Structure 1
Amino acid sequence: MTTWSSTTLVAIADDYDREMGDSGAPLDSRFGRYLTQRIDGLWDDDRTDPAAFLVWAWRVATPPVMSPGYVRIRPDLGAVRLTQSQEDGRLLVEVETPVQHGQLAPGVRPPYAAMRDWETDRYSYSSDGPRRLQAPEDESRPALLLAATLRLPADGWMLHEPAGKWPVEELLIDDAKQAVAIAVAGINDIAGHRVAKLIGDEGGHW
């Protein structure tokens, strides 16, 4: 079970990953199966590039590739992605989140009366934090659904350096897990407090 907070955006579900392994062996990993099935999608030059390897591993570890993911994304967020800048190749973090009207400062809230907003998904279950948001079920009334994308450079992260060649798949899995763990800590550090100011208890009080 993941314990979410206003500044915790992503978390690793390693126990679940091992429980869902096919063989039950100590090194068995559901994440590992997804990695090995998609290793051909990792360019040769990217196998030793820490940022490119991390972007590939993160894509595998998160929905829609893995669902539920090896990396869990807080249910009220839309997506958390890692990309590289087309300008200089730097690592970038992108957090997409729905923004409810009440989370905006009063002076900038939509000027429409009776406009529908994001709703809590009543069919989703979360005993440990916020629940998923969805478009209104009642589609007979107008709705204004706002969303934000927070984009941050991940400068200063000490990225894991992958071996580039993995004679056994356990070494690939270990490289990917170490790379992803650094990203999880880094994302919560640089983006968590910013998201909290946007949609958390501080929302509307910038």
Structure 2
Amino acid sequence: MSTQQAFWLDTRRDRELGQGGGGRYAERVAANIGEFEETWGDIAPVTFACAAWRVATPPVTSPGFVRWHRRVLSATCVRNTWDGSLVAKVTLVSPLPEALTATRAWWRDRGWQGWPEIFGQFVEPAEQDLAKVPHARATLLVDAPLPMDGLPSAPDGPDDHPQEAAHRALTVMVGGLNELLSPVLTQLEGG
């Protein structure tokens, strides 16, 4: 069974879509510099890293510079208010729990459906499908600390090359998320 990559930076597409040679993500950071307003000069890198994540993912950047596995429905990174650490909040498509698959008595020929897929991507059921049959779609919510080792310091201001620091922060966060979630996704895909 091959290991499933949870997250990656779409650098090829970023270069293709960029106008000035620096890539589209650098342009998005510049265009959304307000997202970083509260982070300048912060001694802890977490708030800056979280802003970099927001700018790299939908809805701010679509398609996102940070891309993810088909089972990932959403992924955010936040600062833990208790100790200031970096926390990932990820929602994954999951199979139904074993308690519901041990017997199908609850189905009672109602035509229950799970997660619809279009071209291999899990999607919300269409309104017309919801009008016809019931759907039971399981998700797995992951709230987990991410290592902060390697996160760059927050720049002192918008003139202190925030694009470079934001890109480095994303690289570190993607690595931490892959270490954490790739085994989970591998198990879900193999099961």
**TM superposition score normalised by structure 1:** 0.78
Matched, 1:157 2:149: yes
Q: Percent identity?
A: 22
* Cα distance, 1:46–1:115 mapped onto 2, change above 3 Å: farther
- Corresponding position of 1:85: 80
Instruction: For 1:53-72, list aligned pairs within 5 A.
Output: 53-72=48-67
Distance across 2 between alignment mates of 1:133 and 1:163? 38
* Cα distance, 1:69–1:178 mapped onto 2, change above 3 Å: same
- Corresponding position of 1:41: 35
**Uncovered stretches (5+) of structure 2, i.e. residues with no partner:** none
Distance across 2 between alignment mates of 1:180 and 1:47? 18
Number of corresponding residues? 181
**Uncovered stretches (5+) of structure 1, i.e. residues with no partner:** 125-130
RMSD: 2.2
Distance across 1 between alignment mates of 2:80 and 2:105? 36
Distance across 1 between alignment mates of 2:74 and 2:137? 16
- Corresponding position of 1:31: 25
* Cα distance, 1:31–1:132 mapped onto 2, change above 3 Å: same
Matched, 1:183 2:178: no
Paired residues of 1:82 and 1:93 also in contact (CA < 8 A): yes
Paired residues of 1:53 and 1:162 also in contact (CA < 8 A): yes
Matched, 1:167 2:159: yes
Please report how far the alpha carbon of residue 77 of structure 1 lies from its aligned counterpart in structure 2 after TM superposition.
Answer: 1.6
Please report how far the alpha carbon of residue 108 of structure 1 lies from its aligned counterpart in structure 2 after TM superposition.
Answer: 4.4
Paired residues of 2:6 and 2:69 also in contact (CA < 8 A): yes
Give secondary structure in 2 for the equivalent of 1:78.
strand
